[in-house]
């Protein structure tokens, strides 16, 4: 079994995908794993559209290429489009706070679970926050009120190279009491 720390060290944002199809079963396993991600009050405020159709993937790629960036998504072989759903919180909590108060954190955890499971299966991912939401909604035939949270490009990495992680030092982000 892979050590979680090692898996987290291996996972990186891929910007060079190989010309190799992604197996449907691997995409299913990513969603199956992310489905069991913990959420506040077990609200599970997520759903996902898995785009793997070879006619639709290039259309999604184009919609992620805003402001002259993200051209590499043209080589992705699939996309996870993570949608925000209405969070059903326990009535006592829901009466005190906005029902979507915890949703963004839950959606982030769901997205990371998708990406880490993809990495565990040898797939590469890149989380994309910049995309044409109205046109993506139209392409995927989503209702106007359906919030699109994030898009994740998926494929196999063209190169087997792990970049060193540049992160803030532990002392800067953690306080142990």
pLDDT at 103: 81
pTM confidence score: 0.92
State the average pLDDT over residues 150-168. Answer: 94
Task: Scan for tokens 């009120």, then name that residue.
Answer: 145
Beta strands in 12-77 (DSSP E): 46-51
pLDDT at 87: 72
State the average pLDDT over residues 31-48. Answer: 93
Collect all residues with Cβ–Cβ distance below 8 Å to 54 and sequence separation of at least 6: none
Tokens of 90: 């326990």
Say if CB 116 and CB 29 are below 8 A apart: no
State the average pLDDT over residues 81-103. Answer: 70
With pLDDT > 90 as the criterion, what percentage of the chain qualifies? 77
CATH number of 12-158: 3.40.109.10
Q: Is the dihedral of CA 133, 152, 8, 107 positive or negative?
A: positive
pLDDT at 159: 94
State the average pLDDT over residues 78-87. Answer: 91
Q: Considering only 1-5, 146-150, 167-171, which range has the smallest mean pLDDT? A: 1-5
pLDDT at 41: 80
122-123-124 Cα angle (round to 5): 125
Q: Is the pLDDT of residue 166 over 80?
A: yes
Domain boundaries, the chain: 12-158
Tokens of 146: 């359906």
pLDDT at 88: 72
pLDDT-based confidence at 102, cuts 50/70/90? confident
């Amino acid at each position: 079994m892979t050590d979680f720390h090692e898996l987290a060290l291996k996972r990186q944002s891929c910007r060079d995908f190989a010309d190799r199809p992604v197996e449907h079963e691997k995409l299913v396993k990513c969603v199956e794993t992310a489905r069991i991600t913990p959420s506040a009050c077990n609200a599970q405020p997520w759903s996902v559209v898995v785009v793997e159709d070879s006619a639709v993937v290039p259309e999604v790629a184009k919609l992620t290429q805003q402001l002259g960036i993200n051209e590499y998504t043209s080589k992705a072989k699939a996309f996870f489009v993570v949608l925000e759903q209405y969070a059903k919180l326990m009535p006592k909590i829901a009466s005190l706070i906005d029902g979507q108060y915890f949703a963004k954190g839950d959606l982030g955890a769901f997205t990371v679970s998708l990406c880490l499971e993809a990495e565990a299966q040898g797939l590469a991912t890149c989380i994309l926050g910049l995309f044409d939401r109205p046109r993506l909604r139209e392409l995927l035939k989503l209702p106007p009120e359906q919030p699109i949270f994030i898009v994740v490009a998926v494929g196999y990495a063209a190169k087997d190279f792990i970049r060193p992680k540049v992160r803030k030092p532990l002392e800067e982000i953690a306080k142990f009491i």
